[in-house]
Each structure stands twice: as structure tokens, then as C-alpha cells.
Amino acid sequence: MDTIETSNRSVQPDAVNYRNFGPLDQAREGYIPSVVCHVMSSVDGRVKTESWSNPYKDYNFKTIMADYRSTAQRLETDAWMLGTTSVKEFFPDHFDGCSCHKAYKDQLETYVGDCSSDRLFIALVPDGDVKFYDNRFHGDNIICVVGTEVSADYLEFLESMQISYVFAGPDGKDTKTMLRALYHNFGIRRIALQGGGIIDGTFWQQQLVSEVSVVVYPGIAATEGQPSIFEATSTMPAGQSLQLLETELLKDGCVWLHYKVWK
């Protein structure tokens, strides 16, 4: 595929065709991917696994987690996403480059790096402070969502790793801008939003969730202050409701609940 060279950067101009998720004429202005909130929680709605009670003696925790992953595959998404807190749990090292100069003007455009994996992993790192050691996570190529105020060094670091990035406003939290960029530049039509509770709550508040998929773990947390599936910083908007699409009894005591969101 032909590339465009700008300031030592390699940008693929028609990544929708490159990803082969549909004809270019479908990528019309304003289109965004469908977002499926997929999460595992305890019976009382808590998402931190370390706070859960132990499973019943005949249940196997590895089997339970495998069921969670297999239900995610059944949702047939093009990419999956983690919020900043969850990303830093998996990538705890801090980027140690120079932060003295903000991104240059010619860097403030979507960069398409290695996108050869079947699915993509979207990491919300608005401050540009997470250090990666590979351009894949669990086999899926990484796309970083950053703010326009990040350092030039951080963007150069991502490019050196062939890690793609998109911008989401100055603070990296403009979700609609992010979703439009993911749709138009990467051909992403359907995203599994896999937490944590803060980012789930943000998408719900902005009425960007199309489906909710919950695997209920056979245990409880009953711990004050533990995050839940949706964490809101303000009152949740009215007018959204859930229609049950399917339920399924999984192995080792788990139940899968799958809903459509009506707005």
C-alpha cells in the first residue's frame, strides 16, 4: 500500500480499506463504532477480582475466566478497549522520556502503525505516560488514545514502536472524537469496552453504549468502596433502558447476561 511521508512518519491514508472491514463509502462523516460494554462482576456488581469471595469448591477459577474470554469472542468485535486505570495495571512502568515540549503541529494527526493483527487493542493513555515494550497486547496490535497536550517525545516513542495513536481533544477524553477517528482511520465498527468502571460510566453517561454484556461471577465482594460496573461522576442521564437479548448458564456457576441498550 502507498504511504504518505510527513516529518519522518509513515501514515496509511485509507486504513478502512487496509483493515478490510467494509467499503470506503460506508465511512461517512459522523459515523462511530458500536460499543459493547463487556465485563465480569460479582453477584453484587463489583469488578475487582481480588475483592471477590472464593468460588464454590467444585468451581475452577481458570475455567471461569476462560468463559469470560470466550463470551467476549462471541460478541464479534473488531477491537477491545481498556480505560486508563486498567491499562496502568497491566503496564505499570512510567514513560521516562522528556516532557518539556508538547507535540508539534505536524504530529497532531492520526498515526497508523502496525495493524496486522485480526483484532486491535485500544489503550486510553490521555497523558502519554505509559511505557509499552511491544506493539501488541495479548496478540492484538495496540492503538493509543492520547490528548493533544502530550509530549512530542511520547508520540515519537509510539511511532518507534509502530504503535498507532489517535487524538481525543486536549485532555484525551473527548470520546466522540476518539470513536470517529477509530471508525474512519482503522475501519473499527464494533468495540468491546472492558472497563474499568470509570470509563464504562463515562460511555454510559454520554449515551455511547449500544449493548451491555455481563458475566456474573458466583461470589460476592461486600466491600465498601469497591468499584462497580458503572462508576458515575454525576447523575446518570434518563432515557436509556435495557432489553434482554439472551441469558446463558456457563460453566462453574457463572451466568451470562446480554442486553441491548435503547436510547
Look at residues 180, 163, 179, 203 and name the one whose alpha carbon lies nearest to residue 39.
203
pLDDT at residue number 30:
66
pLDDT at residue number 100:
73
Report the distance separating Cα 209 and Cα 258, nearest Å. Answer: 13
% of the chain surpassing 70 pLDDT:
88
* Spans of the chain below 70 pLDDT: 1-30, 99
pLDDT at residue number 5:
33
Long-range contacts of 73-77 (CB under 8 A, 24+ apart): 75/36, 75/38, 75/190, 75/192, 75/211, 75/213, 76/190, 77/36, 77/119, 77/190, 77/191, 77/192
pTM: 0.86
SS3 102: strand
Grid cell for residue 214:
455481563
Task: Confirm if 108 and 223 have CB atoms less than 8 A apart.
Answer: no
